[in-house]
Amino acid sequence: MIEIAELTHPTDVVDEIIRERAIRAKVKQSRQFVATIHGREAGYLSFDDHSDTQTGVIYEVFVLPKFRKLGVGSSLVAFAEELASTLKCIRLRLSAIPFDRSVTQNWLDSWYTKRGYIPASDGSHELEKNISVSSDSD
Ligand SMILES: CC(C)(COP(=O)(O)OP(=O)(O)OC[C@H]1O[C@@H](n2cnc3c(N)ncnc32)[C@H](O)[C@@H]1OP(=O)(O)O)[C@@H](O)C(=O)NCCC(=O)NCCS
């Protein structure tokens, strides 16, 4: 079972690889989330709300290699989309750049394409997806 929770202190993360990412990302003032699968830390999301442009930004999606292909990455992206919608963002953006050689650029591009992301119209080499605004807090 995949669960996602917000991190208040990056140092609370037990897994060393996720903890290092979270400590580094904290500098950017982004909100951070950890995904667990059956209670074990498996993945990480760093998200920023650019409310001035109604845009949510995924800075990082990362899943520990041993927990990949179990739907954790998809859950983190879906979570970011729901969060962006709740924050009244109308789009989500990201730079699809592999962090390491475990995934190729082609694979990552196709992974996001399957999830509805398309090249941003401003020629920035980012990907974006329009999202519908949640009516929960109306
Ligand atoms: C990109 C990344 C986050 C994907 O994470 P993930 O948890 O493996 O992603 P998912 O499991 O949701 O999806 C991976 C594939 O496994 C498949 N899958 C999902 N659940 C599955 C299951 N239970 N059984 C078999 N396959 C499954 C999915 O269908 C998907 O394939 P598809 O794209 O052909 O549909 C991960 O590869 C990663 O951390 N890469 C390194 C970090 C990086 O470079 N990040 C760049 C972010 S911009």
Q: Output the pLDDT for position 133.
A: 75
Q: Output the pLDDT for position 111.
A: 97
Reduced to 3 states, what is the DSSP secondary structure of residue 31? strand
Nearest CA among 129, 124, 62, 44 for reference residue 89: 129
Q: What is the dihedral of CA 115, 63, 57, 132, to 10 degrees?
A: 40
Element (H or E) spanning 5, and its range? strand 2-6
What tens-digit pLDDT sequence spans the chain (138 residues)?
Answer: 999 999 988 899 999 999 999 988 876 778 999 999 999 999 999 999 887 889 999 999 999 999 999 999 999 999 999 999 999 999 999 999 998 889 999 999 999 999 999 999 888 889 999 998 776 655
Q: Output the pLDDT for position 136.
A: 60
Element (H or E) spanning 41, and its range? strand 40-50
Transcribe 55-106 into DSSP letters: EEEEEEEEE-GGGTTSSHHHHHHHHHHHHHHHTT-SEEEE----SSTTS-HH
Burial letters 64-96, b for 16+ CB under 10 A, else e = beebeeeebbbbbbebbbebbbebebebbbbeb
Choose which residue among 99, 111, 112 to substitute to test ligand 1 binding: the one with the highest number of ligand atoms within 8 A of its C-beta. Answer: 111
Q: Output the pLDDT for position 68.
A: 97
**Which sequence spans correspond to the domains of the chain?**
2-130
pTM: 0.93
Fold of 2-130: Aminopeptidase (3.40.630)
Atom of ligand 1 nearest to the CA of 67: 7
Reduced to 3 states, what is the DSSP secondary structure of residue 46? strand
Could you tell me the distance, in angstroms and rounded to a whole number, from the CA of residue 21 to the centre of ligand 1?
Answer: 18
